[in-house]
Amino acid sequence: MTTEVDAATSARTTSLGRLVLASASPARLRTLRAAGLDPAVVVSGVDEGEVVTRYGVSAAEDVVLVLARAKAEDVAAHLPDDHLVLGCDSMLELDGEVHGKPGDADEARRRWRRMRGRSGVLHTGHWLIDTARGGGSVGAVAATTVHFADLSDVEIDAYVATREPLAVAGAFTVDGLGSAFVTRIDGDHHNVVGVSMPLVRQLAAELGVAWPALWATTPTNDTANG
């Protein structure tokens, strides 16, 4: 996987059009903006169940990758040239089963009663399409192990009542109310939020796009050590 580009490639990519995020996830958008990017958001009309059935996939890493690709391709097909389109999809793997967003509050409660005190793997598929220069298309999956606190039934009921877990893959967040219920993460923290920034950079490099060329503003560090 190429991760560096030469000066000529960097110069060519300075005229690149705007990054487009093919996802309605506010957490992904916040993460990209914090890294200096300012993507437009265009939500795909992909039927996730139909895509999974069409490809006949069941393993978590395969499911998230085909869904990320389908979302990116759907949005890219309706855009003019000179855009980079990023599609993402996340799923939690627990006991060999793949879990997306809970269908309702009862499902969220049942899932948390299985998750508490245990660990699962959060898989996020990423697919990046360059609609210019021949329409390059690349993808990969990032996986992060998440360790969950041993919640009481009262805590589970209270968390589900907030409705936060109903809106996210795996029924938990690490950047919201659910952050207190995650005791440790092995791997890329941002991947659990929904988009792995190092992986997106690597995919962009594969397409010949220098990462600084994507910055809308120069990233700054608002915190200081000490």
Active site residue 89: yes
What letter represents residue 131's amino acid?
A: T
| Residue 15 CB-half CA count within 13 A | 8
Q: Where are the alpha helices (DSSP H) in 85-221?
A: 105-115, 153-161, 189-193, 197-206
Catalytic residue among 6, 62, 74, 89: 89
DSSP string covering 70-110, please? HHHHHHHTTS-SS-EEEEEEEEEEETTEEE-S-SSHHHHHH
What letter represents residue 205's amino acid?
A: A
- Are 18 and 83 in contact by the 8 Å Cβ rule? The answer is yes
Backbone angles phi, psi at 5, to 5 degrees: -130, 155
Residues marked active site are found at 89
